[in-house]
Structure 1
Amino acid sequence: MSDRRGGAGRAAGQAPAKVKKARRPQVRLPPLEPWEGRGLEPDGDYDGVEFRGVDLAGQEGIGARFMDCALTGCALDEAGLARARFIDSVLRDVRGVGTNLAEATLRDVEVVDARLGGVQLHGAALERVVIRGGKIDYLNLRKARLKDVVFDGCVLVEPDFGGARLERVEFAGCALKGADFSAATLTDVDLRGAAELGIARGVDRLGGAVISPAQLMDLAGVFAAELGVRVE
């Protein structure tokens, strides 16, 4: 007679599947030339350029390409960068409200200590991107594609991941406040490192994510509400 208990014991003793870790960018910038232009140009081509302390507020760089570039201490208020491409680049201490990066491409990019609000990244493609430190309010990533992305030690206030696809995305030491995951698709998303995990909508889309036991307890009320369970 077969030992069903033994089979169950082996199944229970199996190691849990590991979450695939995100591949971080390895950005090594070459010697850069200081930018001396007057303004960004639509479909402009910027290669090996350093933008330091430049006021790019209201500039129109739709479809521009930034390759091996550094943007340091730049103002990006209402900057028009829809469909722009940032490749092997670093954005450090950038600030601004209403920056339009809709349908932009960020590949092998580091964003460090940014202070941004209302950033439009809907429909964008992010691959091998690290967003480290800083604070971003109302980040719009609706229907964006995130692959190998790390949010590290930053504060995200009401980020919108609605309809987005997240694969190998990590939240490490960051605060996630009022996040919206409605209609999102998650694969190998690691939320365990989040210092604060607040989900306003889309808790039913967390299949494919990993959370810690403590986070499960914190989200118990949200899960209960999603299931229509009253807790009295």
Structure 2
Amino acid sequence: MSLQTATIQDLHPLSQAEADAICAKHDRLWTSKPGGARAVFAWKNLTGLDLRGRNLCDGDFTGAILADCQLQGARLDHANLFGADLQNANLTDASMRRADLRGACLRNANLTGADLFECDLREGSIASVDRVQGLKVMEHQNRVGEMQGAILAGANLERSRLSGVMAVRADFTDAVLKDAKLVRANLKQCTMTGANMAGADLSGADLAGADLRDCILVGAKTFSWNVSQADMRGALTDQPSGKAVSDLPYKTMIRDHARWCETGGAEGAPSVFDNADLRALETVRGFNLTALSAKGAVFYGLDMEGVQLQGANLEGADLRACNLRRADLRGARMTGAKLASADLRDAQMGPLLLGGDRILPCNLTGASLKNADLARADLRHVLLVDADLSRANFTNAQLRQANLTGAQKWGARGLGETI
């Protein structure tokens, strides 16, 4: 039996009305209403159709053409998109958790902020039986590239499978790729600035010429990877950044500082942690670290719940993915700090009262709070000038008299409250 290639050009084109009718039946199925039916778009041509915000979970798009489709905010969880053509599709903020995207073409697609948790994006092809020619491999036109030029800025790709994927010049800025499988992936000239690849398997991956500035590679497997001419300035790896714990007795110093704060200076001693790598501390939960100086220090992933950092100097510190829930950061100086994906729920980030009418506001000028959770946080008088608040959560936060001049607010939630 021979194996030949077939180009699909004559798939049945669907009109917008026909697609809407199928979506309506799918909605009825999901809401347990009579007359419902699963959305089946397998081997259909949906080029350019508008499916924004549609619930298409568990839908079948096997081999379908979805080029140039408007799918912003669509729900495609567990959908079968095996071999689908999604070139130039707009999937901004779409939910595609555990979707099957094997062999799919995402060339130049926009997946900014999309949720692709545990998606399967590996190679794949579809073969059909032909009485004359035997097996035919079904391919859409222009399938070469797969994810070439795709935009996945801020997308969640945690635990996704991308082994062998072709993603030349794709944009993964600030994407979450924790524990993702990227074995032998072609990521040449990709933009991965600030991407979180902690625990990812990059064995044999080609990252030649990639932009890896400020990315997180803690616990990543990098056997036989290629990072020739890649820009890795500020990348966080398992190697100490700045002064390591082995260089100074940080555990003793942090306890001395806490004791000094608790006793009003009678015991212990103030300590300076500027440019220190404090990741090995693992936790400072509940510590009193008032007025701590930790400029440029690395706290990444540290458990800091309930820590007291009133008036602390954390300028340029790396607090990404830290647990700062209920932390007291009143009057803290955090200009240029990295707080992406930090948990700041219920944190106190209001002003520090200095007596009389004098206050010292929490200063987050130029800080990065992308994807940070600030639900119910006290942010009165906070300085967020030129800060990046993209996709941050401010639900029920107190923002009275907060200064957000020049702040980037794309995708941020909860900023409709009185400021």
Superposition TM-score tier, normalisation by shorter sequence: 0.7 to 0.9
RCO greater where, 1 or 2, for CA within 8 Å and sep 6 or more? 1
Shift of residue 223 of structure 1? 5.8
Residue 199 (structure 2) aligns with:
183
1:160 to 144, 154, 176: 176
- Kindly provide the amino acid, as one letter, of the partner of residue 190 in structure 1: D
User: By how many angstroms is 1:146 displaced?
Assistant: 1.9
Deviation at 1:33, TM superposition (A): 0.8
1:173-217 C-alpha deviation (Å, 9 max, x unpaired):
3222211111222332111242x22342124414235233433xx
- Output aligned runs, 1:131-170, within 5 Å: 131-170=147-186
Contact 1:29 1:68 in 2 (8 A): no
The reply to whether residue 200 of structure 1 matches residue 215 of structure 2 is: yes
Q: Which residue of 2 aligns with 1:123?
A: 118
Name 2:63's counterpart in structure 1: 68
1:191–1:103 CA distance, 2 compared to 1 (3 A): same
Could you tell me how far apart the structure 1 residues matched to 2:224 and 2:117 are? 21
Range moving further from structure 2, 79-88 or 159-168: 159-168
Q: Which amino acid aligns with 1:37?
A: A
1:110 pairs with one of 105, 117, 129: 105
1:77-132 per-residue CA deviation (whole Å, 9 max, x = no partner) reads 11010001112221121114210000101111111221232111001111117202
Distance change (3 Å), C-alpha of 1:204 and 1:94: same
5+ long unaligned stretches in structure 1: 1-25
Q: Which amino acid aligns with 1:147?
A: S
Task: Return closer, same or farther for 1:214/1:48 CA change in 2, 3 Å cut-off.
Answer: closer
User: Equivalent residue for 2:129?
Assistant: none
Structure 2 vs 1, CA of residues 113 and 223 (structure 1 numbering), >3 Å: closer, same or farther?
closer
CA distance in 2, matches of 1:123, 1:145: 7
Aligned to 2:175, what secondary structure does the other structure show?
coil
Percentage of identical aligned residues: 22
Q: Is the 8 A contact 1:27 1:88 kept in 2?
A: no
Which whole-Å CA distance do the structure 1 matches of 2:66 and 2:228 have between them? 40
Partner of 2:240: 227
Q: Distance in 2 between matches of 1:224 and 1:112?
A: 30
Match of 1:37 in 2: 19
Q: Secondary structure at the match of 1:58?
A: coil
The worse-fitting range, judged by mean Cα deviation, of 72-81 and 38-47 is: 38-47
TM-score by length of 1: 0.77
If each structure's strand is expressed as a fraction of its own residues, which one has the higher value? 1
CA contact (8 A) 2:67 2:86 kept: yes
Aligned residues: 204
SS at match of 2:203: strand
Q: Which one-letter code corresponds to 2:19 in the other structure?
A: G
How large is the RMSD of aligned CA atoms in angstroms? 2.7
Q: What is the letter of the counterpart of residue 158 of structure 1?
A: D
CA separation in 2, counterparts of 1:153 and 1:144?
19
* Distance of aligned partners of 1:29 and 1:188 in 2 relative to their CA distance in 1, 3 Å threshold: farther
What residue identity is the alignment partner of 1:33? H
The equivalences for 1:41-60 within 5 A come to 41=26, 43-60=38-55
**CA separation of 1:170 and 1:224: change in aligned 2, threshold 3 A:** closer
Q: 1:141 offset after TM fit, Å?
A: 0.6
Paired residues of 2:203 and 2:221 also in contact (CA < 8 A) = no
Higher helix fraction (1 or 2): 1
Task: Output the amino acid matched with 1:177.
Answer: T
